[in-house]
């Protein structure tokens, strides 16, 4: 099996349901409820994909991805594909994600089959 997927969302229901969906398809998943928890996991493990909510207390998904990229750069590791998910249409945040060249930006609610196709396409072994 390849590297695990890091799934970050402050909504426990979303975290559990997406985690269960991914695990039912054979993916290893590490879950984090916020950006700080996610950074601890990034310090300890290598991931093949990062899926993060954007709006979270304490640290939003944009800042989190910037910090993860910094960790990878300091360790001279290859960048990891990133999928940002959000339930809010916020043009400013979308533009920030575009500027960061995030791999994929997905609005909730989304089609689960489409979500799985995106994961399959971008997951790095």
Spans of all domains in the chain: 5-113
Q: In the numeric block, which tokens belong to residue 95?
A: 């533009």
How many CB atoms sit inside 10 A of residue 20's CB? Answer: 11
Task: Summarize pLDDT for 107-121 with one digit per residue, the tens.
Answer: 888 899 999 999 999
Instruction: Answer yes or no: pTM beyond 0.85.
Output: yes
CA dist list (Å): 119 to 32, 34, 58, 73, 77: 18, 20, 26, 23, 20
Do the beta carbons of residue 89 and residue 55 sit within 8 Å? Answer: no
Please name the helix (run of DSSP H) or strand (run of DSSP E) that holds residue 113, with its range, or none: helix 112-122
CATH code that applies to domain 5-113: 3.40.50.2300
> What integer pLDDT is reported at residue 52 of this predicted model?
97
Whether 1 has a pLDDT exceeding 70, the answer reads no
Q: How confident is the model at residue 72 (pLDDT cuts 50, 70, 90)?
A: very high
């Amino acid at each position: 099996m390849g590297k695990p997927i890091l799934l970050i969302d402050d909504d426990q229901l979303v975290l559990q349901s997406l985690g269960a969906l991914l695990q039912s398809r054979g993916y290893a998943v590490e879950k984090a409820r916020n950006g700080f928890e996610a950074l601890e996991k990034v310090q300890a493990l290598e991931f093949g994909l990062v899926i993060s909510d954007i709006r979270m207390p304490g640290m939003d998904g944009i800042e989190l991805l910037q910090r993860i990229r910094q960790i990878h750069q300091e360790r001279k590791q290859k960048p990891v594909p990133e999928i940002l998910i959000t339930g809010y249409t916020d043009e400013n945040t979308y533009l920030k994600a575009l500027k960061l060249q995030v791999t994929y930006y997905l609005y909730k609610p989304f089609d689960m089959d489409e979500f799985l196709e995106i994961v399959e396409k971008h997951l790095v072994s």
